Amino acid sequence: MALKRLALVGVGLVGSAVLLRMACSAKLAIKLIDGDIITKKDAYANGIFVEADAEHVTFKANAAHRFLLAHNLSLDTESVPFYIGENNIDRVLEGVDLVIDATDNAQTRNLLNRWCIENSKPLLISSVSGNRAFFYVSDGENACFNCISRNVTLTDPNCTIASVKTATVLADAIAKEVLKLPFGDRPHKFVSINARSNEVAAYTLLKDPSCSVCGDIRKNEKEKSLFVQVCSGGIKVSLQRKLSIKTLLPLFKSYDPSVSDDYLLLRNGGRSILVSKFGDFLFTGYSTGSVRKILAMVSNLSSP
């Protein structure tokens, strides 16, 4: 395969560690996709963010884009500072040769998996929790993410922060595999890594003929939920369309707002809502029921 353009979905601890190892490469065009903002924990643990990024609203994708250009002006890189979803995935991933999943939620992984199978694109799946990590390249000839995730939990529902050492070890392994792909060397093994004991195990995973995504009888079941992730860190939602920040203000008169052209930060007691102009929401301190009520109000607003 001619690997010219890759999409990195998720610029957290693992994704940023991968970028650190690819920053000097001028052979690849990299599309950075992440709707999350940088927190103080990110700034301390992440090798490409700085503490000042956490002092105001800074999107991870934009900061990673800035980092790459600072280290390699000839690198072709693009920032996509919003969540990927069913309504925008075709546009966002158009023209890519490889998708790297460095997210921490099953819904996005399932979406990427289905899209890559339908469009015959390889998907490199990675995950890390504590001292354990794994990565796997699905290319349509072997098991896809759906084949293996039905019986094995591969996503941490609690958004547990991984150790920096584990993310570094995993990033080294991923970077090596990405460099092999243009030469036709596609690994068909599921690689498990224990960063504490330095143990590495590889397993051959065959395609499940009954898989609803890549099997012999495929089902056209697409996830239409607006919820990107629900975990201890908050609730992430994507409307997958642009919003006018100014039109939102009258809906939240009782909140303490901070407004810019790109985002709206709303505080209400110990709770907060961060809204981006791309239609992404981060709810902190809210129940899913409360989030649904707020989304019902917002859904009636027209796009700018």
Domain boundaries, the chain: 5-204, 227-298
* Residues contacting 105, CB < 8 A, separation 6+: 155, 228, 229, 231
Provide the CATH topology of domain 5-204.
Answer: Rossmann fold (3.40.50)
Question: What counts of helices (H) and strands (E) characterise the chain?
Answer: 9, 14
Other beta carbons within 10 Å of 95: 9
- Interstrand relation of 123-129 and 98-101 (parallel, antiparallel or unpaired): parallel
Residue 89: its H or E element: helix 89-92
CB 112 within 8 A of CB 119: no
Residue 172: its H or E element: helix 164-180
How many whole angstroms separate alpha carbon 132 and alpha carbon 96?
29
* Residues contacting 50, CB < 8 A, separation 6+: 43
Write out the chain's pLDDT in tens, 304 residues.
556 788 999 998 888 888 888 776 657 789 999 999 988 887 777 778 888 888 888 999 999 999 888 887 677 889 999 999 888 999 999 999 889 998 878 889 889 999 999 999 989 888 887 778 888 888 888 888 888 876 555 554 545 556 677 778 887 888 777 766 554 555 557 888 888 888 888 888 888 888 888 887 666 655 567 888 877 678 899 988 888 888 888 888 788 888 888 889 998 888 999 999 999 999 999 998 999 988 888 876 655 5
- Interstrand relation of 123-129 and 132-138 (parallel, antiparallel or unpaired): antiparallel
Residue for token digits 């800035």?
66
- SS3 at position 129: strand
How many whole angstroms separate alpha carbon 65 and alpha carbon 69?
6
Span 227-298 CATH architecture:
2-Layer Sandwich (3.30)
CB 63 within 8 A of CB 39: no
How many whole angstroms separate alpha carbon 201 and alpha carbon 288?
39
Other beta carbons within 10 Å of 265: 18
- Interstrand relation of 98-101 and 5-9 (parallel, antiparallel or unpaired): parallel
**Are the folds of 5-204 and 227-298 the same?**
no
User: Which tokens sit at 22?
Assistant: 């690819």
- Whole-prediction pTM value? 0.83
